[in-house]
């Protein structure tokens, strides 16, 4: 066999392999994973950032309940409440906000980290879970985990819930 025939045979083999692999695809459309207990029957206004317009296209509606399964007021209020801390990551679709370590200027040998989990589309206290971590610097300069009272997380949650209620009241038009 000539070198030219071998090259042609390689191209034919490549094309045949590509066709076989292309035929292995599925005709089913993509389906999102289940939301794992999130409330899918909440009002559509709770699932959008702005309550209408472009927010509906970005954050879904009652018809498209797989888009976002968190409460937008809780999301915004959480970001507002921890705005003084540096963000490590924020996932608006999963409802998770993780901060990086923050050392208050008045206590440089102590630092805090906050994890916020928004669990529901409904603006309720059980739709929010906040965990606070604390570390202190020892004499050798190493950071060591320190205890955080449960009231600290509760105070953060109450601050977020209060802010979320205020945001919701401002978003609802007054009836004259």
Q: Give the start-to-end residue ranges of the domains of the chain.
A: 70-171
pTM of the model: 0.60
Query: Does 70-171 carry CATH code 3.30.1330?
Result: no
* Contact predicate 119/42, CB 8 Å: no
Residue 122 DSSP label? S
CB atoms within 10 A of CB 13: 10
φ/ψ of residue 120, rounded to 5: -150, 165
Q: What percentage of residues in the chain have a pLDDT greater than 70?
A: 60
pLDDT at 172: 80
Q: Output the six-digit token pair for 104.
A: 């208050």
For 33-92, what is each residue's pLDDT tens digit? 334 444 434 433 443 333 333 343 344 444 444 555 799 999 999 999 999 999 999 999
Q: How far is CA 79 from CA 29, 84, 168, 174, in A?
A: 34, 9, 15, 26
């Amino acid at each position: 066999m000539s070198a030219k025939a071998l090259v042609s045979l390689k191209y034919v083999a490549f094309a045949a392999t590509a066709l076989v692999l292309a035929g292995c695809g599925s005709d089913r459309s993509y389906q999102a994973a289940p939301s794992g207990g999130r409330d899918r029957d909440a009002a559509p206004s709770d699932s959008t950032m702005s309550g209408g317009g472009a927010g509906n296209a970005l954050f879904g509606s009652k018809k498209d309940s797989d888009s976002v399964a968190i409460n937008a007021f809780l999301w915004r209020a959480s970001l507002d409440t921890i705005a003084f801390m540096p963000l490590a990551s924020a996932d608006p679709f999963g409802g998770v906000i993780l901060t990086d370590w923050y050392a208050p200027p008045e206590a440089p040998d102590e630092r805090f980290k906050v994890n916020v989990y928004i669990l529901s589309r409904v603006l309720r206290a059980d739709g929010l879970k906040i965990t606070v971590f604390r570390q202190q610097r020892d004499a050798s300069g190493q950071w060591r985990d320190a205890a955080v009272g449960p009231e600290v997380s509760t105070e953060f949650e109450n601050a977020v819930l209060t802010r979320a209620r205020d945001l919701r009241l401002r978003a609802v038009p007054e009836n004259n």
